[in-house]
Structure 1
């Protein structure tokens, strides 16, 4: 394959060369266990502290409020399970939404089996939470509200500050899954009244297998992994020093370039969206037009199957997704698209294409041209489209 256009950056990103360079010495040269007392290894504890400080500064937190994990899914699990365990005497009710990542939804289902009650909020046709519905869902025994900062499939950014204010007003802990939003949009945990926040390295040109959970000082969250004193006794296990260095380096790099990078992404995103919607009939944009991640596009094309679309795009060197990478291979339509009101037959014909800092206008023009050809080709083979055309001619 001569040409490769990678437009699945919501699934994962390429690890930046300078991130790899920063990590390498900690595999072969500075390989000591940070818990060891001798100087050779103890230096790695200082390195971890510096990365913690870097990440904390980006979200307006304190360094001792950052806990390193194996990624976003672990952070989400920790936030929900540990809150439930610690605050169950206060209440057993949790509020989340129908469009969360499965790391939240499946954890919520697990907690339901343990006797907790979970309210799953609806969203509107753009993917936004209704703040009045959130208020109405709050009960005296509500202990946690967990709403993702920005959706991983349709890119819609939630009114996080307002949600945080409602949670604070009622004395309820507020967690947000910010895996897609971290270093893509500005985040200040104090301004948004966020008590816990999940993020992951591989979404920001960092390595896989590393992330963090921000836990506000004073929040009583119990240990998630037992067996040692690492992460201030809350997550046992020898620290992943190369991964932590990679995460810190990637976060610093992404934060410093965020304003310029996202401005470019928004311009290219909107250009691409306009091309698709104006040049491909019976297409629609999923998610909010403006309150969306800078690099996210998500379309539905009537009368075709998304799986066939992805295969044919791949044959042309274009990498995309039909939704979350965690549900790829499933024949069921995306739970997010169903939640915003799309019927099954339209949700099945959906495509998520997410940009990176390396994406060019030429890449998107090529993709738009190829998409037009593929959609037209697939519709010619579709009995549904043939019936639709016949009805249109009557």
Structure 2
């Protein structure tokens, strides 16, 4: 099969092999959402990245992380710019009250989504708040690699996270009513236990904070914790009400927070707009990511060249692309982006390059995890159209050992792909 930018699709697992892979994904790894309606979430093949291209993506992601964290710290010192980010009012009000220095108490985890384009690799966005893909990038990749002895995994994000969280106990805060969130907490609890660290899955309102740290209270029992891993969207925190200590997710003495709720400042698709107001030099972002504007700054005659995204959208929800999204969705997105422009971002559109797979042409994404500043592995997905959303399939990313491949290329500055 043709190789695009050092990325290709590996051979598909045969019928019995795939059934065994799927069984192990569910019962050994705890992936409880292998099906979405009549659609399999699990691809039968891996994405294969050459070793040299993987090194390029790692360096790029680490460079992006340095600039992103610096910009986030500077934004915390400029509360007058928070209105540019499309944050909920209660959330923004709390950010203005916190001590910025207390927000760096724990490990930071970000996932940068890269895609092959005609001009080279491009990063569509940073998932800074609650990046997902731990089961897929760690456990499923290891199982897939067993079927491809010439390939190897590109890392273990779950293992790197467990090491970064320290000696524990660790509260694994998640939205307990969602199986796709609960499975992540359960998986990480098992990985922590394997490392000799106690993980305590809980809801955000199970946490209690005091001057000495934090504890989890469930069913009349309490367990002190030394770290809090949050897999609960930060913009949902104010909805917990006064009875929950949601404000302590921003900054808390005596306990390590991963990630602090202030990560939402960088999660916003409008963050680059605020960075411009700060006058920051962000050479890595200018190299690897597409231009972002306020929707009001897009000339009417150029609307088809821009993608509309909700500022705090997730999983590709309401990402609107002319010729890809339905006409009804495009009309809705354009109306809402005019009515509430600060809740939306316009991202310059550019052309995705598909790869040939056993299922036909598919558009891949390689989500590089950066944990405490170091690349730690990748979450791979493929889609039948140039938009990564709930329809995409999970395809483990494996690395080819040979370095005899095409030289790395970077998409032109301010280029990029319209994905979630």
TM-score normalised by L of structure 1: 0.30
- Specify which structure has the higher proportion of helix: 1
Higher strand fraction (1 or 2):
2
Question: Normalising to structure 2: TM-score of the pair?
Answer: 0.28
Bigger RCO of structures 1 and 2 (CA < 8 A, at least 6 apart): 2
Answer with 1 or 2: which has the greater Rg.
1
